[in-house]
């Protein structure tokens, strides 16, 4: 690869991981960026998933280091995400994922508008504690979004944050930490399958992964420091952009 190619690639990876570690949606930048640079679509998916897995692992470690997550709940939800992602990857081989696009567009617009209009959402951590209701709700979230990430994927991190905010009443920081850790589980499940099918271009994936690791470290620290005042506007912006992009793709 030329030096110019490497610089552009690393910039794309760094920016995507920085945004993704705060509010999800990094794939809006990284995947189209790879395809614009000439990586074939199937390899772009596998390469992006490999690099994104490295970034989400880095973000997860930082959230864990600063204890910005709920271990008591996540120890149950990890298994739901793993099972959901595995089923999703299997299902994508049998069903055309394009049928989901219209539904996802409306869901993303709803997420953005709801998050924008509800003023006090995510400012305080009002999680009621571990009980049958919260575990059941969490498992449903993890199974559905694990399946979605394995099956289709766009906006998974943003959906995690939104559902932890609205259904379990976490604040923005804990929601982001929980979501990123679970997103890593579904990412690595998908990465293993791309690896087994030989769809990762390592000459591109490795430098991009390094840049994404750096972006993820910085983005996670910024998110932990700034909380709702930063995560909320980025979450709204990313979900609107994803919806707009998918509308143009559908057209």
Domain ranges, residue 80: 3-250
pLDDT of residue 97: 59
Cβ–Cβ < 8 Å for 29, 190: no
- Rounded to a whole number of angstroms, the distance between the first and last alpha carbons of the chain is 34
Tens place of pLDDT per residue across the chain (251 aa):
678 888 888 999 999 899 989 888 787 788 888 888 888 877 887 888 899 899 999 999 999 999 999 999 999 999 999 999 888 877 766 766 566 667 777 887 888 888 888 777 777 889 988 999 999 999 999 999 998 887 777 678 889 999 999 999 999 999 999 999 999 998 888 788 778 878 889 989 999 999 999 999 999 999 998 887 888 888 888 888 878 877 877 76
Cβ–Cβ < 8 Å for 31, 42: no
- Buried b vs exposed e over 41-79: b needs ≥16 C-beta within 10 Å? eebbbbbbbbbbbbbbbbbbbbbeeeebbbeebbeebbe
| Residue range 141-154, pLDDT digits in tens | 999 999 888 777 76
Task: Say which residues have a Cβ less than 8 Å from residue 75's Cβ, sequence separation at least 6.
Answer: none
- CA-CA distance, 15 to 216, in Å (whole number)? 9
Q: Of 232, 150, 216, nearest to 15 (Cα)?
A: 216
Helices (H), 93-201: 101-117, 132-151, 156-167, 172-196
Count of structural domains, the chain: 1
- CA-CA distance, 210 to 55, in Å (whole number)? 8
Grouping H, G, I as helix, E, B as strand and the rest as coil, residue 126 is coil
| Residue range 28-73, pLDDT digits in tens | 788 888 888 888 877 887 888 899 899 999 999 999 999 999 999 9
pLDDT of residue 53: 92
Handedness of CA 109, 111, 114, 120 (dihedral sign): negative
């Amino acid at each position: 690869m030329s030096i110019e190619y490497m610089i552009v690639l690393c910039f794309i990876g760094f920016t995507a991981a920085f945004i993704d570690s705060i509010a999800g949606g990094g794939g809006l930048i990284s995947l189209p960026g790879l395809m614009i640079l000439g990586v074939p679509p199937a390899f772009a998916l596998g390469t992006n998933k490999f690099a994104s897995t490295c970034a989400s692992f880095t973000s997860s470690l930082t959230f864990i280091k600063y204890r910005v997550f709920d271990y008591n709940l996540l120890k149950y939800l990890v298994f739901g995400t793993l099972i959901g992602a595995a089923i999703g990857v299997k299902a994508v081989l049998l069903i055309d994922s394009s049928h989901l696009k219209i539904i996802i567009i409306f869901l993303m617009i709803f997420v953005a508008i709801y998050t924008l209009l509800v003023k006090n959402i995510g400012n305080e951590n009002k999680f009621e504690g571990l009980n049958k209701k919260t575990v059941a709700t969490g498992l449903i979230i993890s199974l559905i979004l694990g399946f979605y990430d394995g099956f289709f994927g766009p906006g998974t991190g943003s959906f995690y944050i939104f559902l932890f905010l609205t259904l379990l009443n976490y604040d923005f920081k804990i929601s982001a930490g929980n979501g990123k850790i679970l997103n890593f589980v579904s990412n690595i499940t998908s990465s293993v399958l791309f690896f087994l099918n030989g769809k990762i271009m390592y000459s591109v994936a490795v430098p991009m992964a390094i840049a994404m690791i750096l972006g993820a470290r910085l983005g996670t620290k910024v998110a932990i420091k700034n909380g709702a005042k930063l995560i909320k506007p980025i979450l709204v912006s990313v979900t609107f952009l994803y919806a707009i992009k998918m509308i143009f793709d559908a057209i």
